[in-house]
């Protein structure tokens, strides 16, 4: 219950502009490594493939907020995919920004639901069960937007869902 209330408060503050990111240039490898280490118990029995291209510079982000974004995305990948399936995390330069992608091999997200998954309290039934609060992607999207970025979802080639996010490299996030 405490986590739900804290998530609702964070989402409200982010949307009101009261929780602005304090950005500093950080290597994405460090943030991804920290999150995957912390989530190791949930990721047990899964292959986690991390690829951060060599040309990705340090990215101006709020480390605590970006940790929350990646945590939410990886937890969703674990929650909605069969045990033992791989999860991919990739980062690359993309049109003056950096693109981060978290891919899974689950049932995917139907095309008609893709516009809704970033709304608070939206949840998709998976194999007849509903899990989560419907806040994880809404919070992630609010944080990425506060950083001057954007998020989206697409099919993973071969099956599953890929959540992508674009973050600016020029530090305009805090404005």
Question: pLDDT tens, 56-104?
Answer: 999 999 998 999 999 999 999 998 888 999 999 999 999 889 999 999 9
pLDDT of 175: 40
Phi, then psi, of 41 in degrees rounded to 5: -60, -40
Q: Domain span at residue 131? A: 2-174
Domain containing residue 55: CATH number:
3.30.565.10
What is the pTM (predicted TM-score) of this model?
0.85
Q: Which residue has the tokens 């530090």?
A: 171
Question: pLDDT tens, 135-167?
Answer: 788 889 989 998 999 999 999 998 999 999 999
Domains contained in the chain, number? 1
Q: Which residue has the tokens 């069960």?
A: 129
**Cα R_g (the chain), whole angstroms:** 15
């Amino acid at each position: 219950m405490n986590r739900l209330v804290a998530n609702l408060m964070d989402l409200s503050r982010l949307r009101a502009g009261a929780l602005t990111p304090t950005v500093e240039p950080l290597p994405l490898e460090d943030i991804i490594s920290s999150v995957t280490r912390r989530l190791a118990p949930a990721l047990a029995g899964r292959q986690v493939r991390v690829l951060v291209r060599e040309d990705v510079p340090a990215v101006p982000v709020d480390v605590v907020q970006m940790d929350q974004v990646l945590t939410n995305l990886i937890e969703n990948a674990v929650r909605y995919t069969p045990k033992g399936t791989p999860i991919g995390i990739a980062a690359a330069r993309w049109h003056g920004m950096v693109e981060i992608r978290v891919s899974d091999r689950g049932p995917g997200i139907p095309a008609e639901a893709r516009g809704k998954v970033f709304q608070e309290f939206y949840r998709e039934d998976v194999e007849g069960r509903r899990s989560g609060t419907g806040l994880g992607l809404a919070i992630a999207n609010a944080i990425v937007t506060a950083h001057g970025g954007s998020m989206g979802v697409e099919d993973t080639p071969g099956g599953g869902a890929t959540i992508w996010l674009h973050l600016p490299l020029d530090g305009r996030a805090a404005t």
